[in-house]
Every structure is written in C-alpha cells, then in structure tokens.
Amino acid sequence: SQQGEEDPQALSIQEGENATMNCSYKTSINNLQWYRQNSGRGLVHLILIRSNEREKHSGRLRVTLDTSKKSSSLLITASRAADTASYFCAPSGSARQLTFGSGTQLTVLP
Amino acid sequence: EAGVAQSPRYKIIEKRQSVAFWCNPISGHATLYWYQQILGQGPKLLIQFQNNGVVDDSQLPKDRFSAERLKGVDSTLKIQPAKLEDSAVYLCASSSSDRGDYEQYFGPGTRLTVT
C-alpha cells in the first residue's frame, strides 16, 4: 500500500542530541511529506521531498529519500524539549492523497 | 492568515445519537479533507472535496457517516447513529491544490467520545 510506516515507534533522547526517524513505503510515489503532531499545535507540515530529490534541509531538519529502497529518513539535529511530538511520514502517489502511518513518538528529555 | 477552523473542539455523546462537526478551511483553498484519527494511530482519510464536489469517499462508512461542502467553502461531517468505535479525533484539513504535492493545513480537530 502507499501507507508509510515509521520506525521506531518510540524514541527517547536527551536535549541536544540528534534524533533520526525512518519511514518505509511499498509503492511508487510522487513525493513524501513529514508532519509533526503535538498537543499544543496539532498536526503541522514540516517538509516535502519530491521523488526526484535525494535530500532536503529545513532549519534543523534533514530529510533523505531513497526511492530504490522505498524509504525516507528524518533527522532532527540539536533537539529541544519543544521537539517532543509524534512524527508522521505521508507518501503521496498516483492517488495524490496522503496516507499516514502510526508515527514515531519522540520524547526529548531536558 | 487565519488557519483551518473547526468546531466544536470536544463532544461527548451516547451511542446511537447523532453528531455534526463543522470546518472552515483557509480562504481560497479549493481542496478540503476530513480525517479520522483513533488514539495511537495516524490520521485516516475519510473524504476529500475539490470545491463542492467529492473526489474520494471510498473510506467513508456511508451507512452512518455523511459529509457535505456547500458553496465550496465550509464543510460539515455528520455521524448518525454513532457507535463506540467512532470515538476519535476528527481532523479537517485544506490545501490549495488537489495534486498531492502541496502541504495540507490541519485544524485543531474535534475530539469525539461515544459512551
């Protein structure tokens, strides 16, 4: 299916460390988006990477995409307590819709 | 720019009752989505509108759920009658394009509890 599956399901790190989350999917895609969800701000778009791109940066975020392995990763550098949230990848293919997985719950400890 | 507005924020009803949720998308956004998010899971698309037409409602349980988007702006999602398994957060999102390569903007959601 087009649904993304995030790994790990939960991740706990110390403030200042880097956090890496992975996403795998099964069908061809046009692009893949990452979203963050916390209780304060709801579901927020972080970054979009197109199928012909391999890496993209936005502030402390770095996303990679490997279409041959059907996988993506999200790296958050120098994490902060405010980064505590659930992170979802959402592949988008021919149906042009987003299909979310169950997410990675990131906890950043002060 | 005002975000996606939803109301109510919380709703508690008994099973077999009916409930309606309202969504006002970002001005000018032609595409509107309703998602259901059960605790511990990611959002699941229920229905997608392009202006006031339905693009995809394949995952909408049509025996109890209905949605409309009059005049291509506001939208309502109704459940009648509600079941216990409908307890979830209902998210509305909008986008300036239906091409799937534009970000979606989400509202704060309506948390529904069915007892």
Task: Tally A–B CB contacts below 8 A.
Answer: 48
pLDDT per residue as tens digits for the range A69-93:
999 999 999 999 999 999 999 998 8
Q: State the CATH number of the domain containing residue B80.
A: 2.60.40.10
Residues 6+ apart with CB under 8 A from B9: B108, B109, B110, B111
Residue-range definition of the domain harbouring residue B28: 5-114
Whether residues B100 and A102 touch (CB distance < 8 A) is answered with no
The reply to whether residue A48 touches residue B101, judged by beta carbons under 8 angstroms, is yes
Average pLDDT value for chain A: 93
- CB-closest option in A45, A88, A95 to B42: A88
Residue B1: its pLDDT value, please?
65
3-state SS track over B69-94: CHHHCCEEEEECCCCHHHCEEEEEEE
Note the pLDDT of residue A87.
97
Superfamily of domain A5-77+85-104: Immunoglobulins (2.60.40.10)
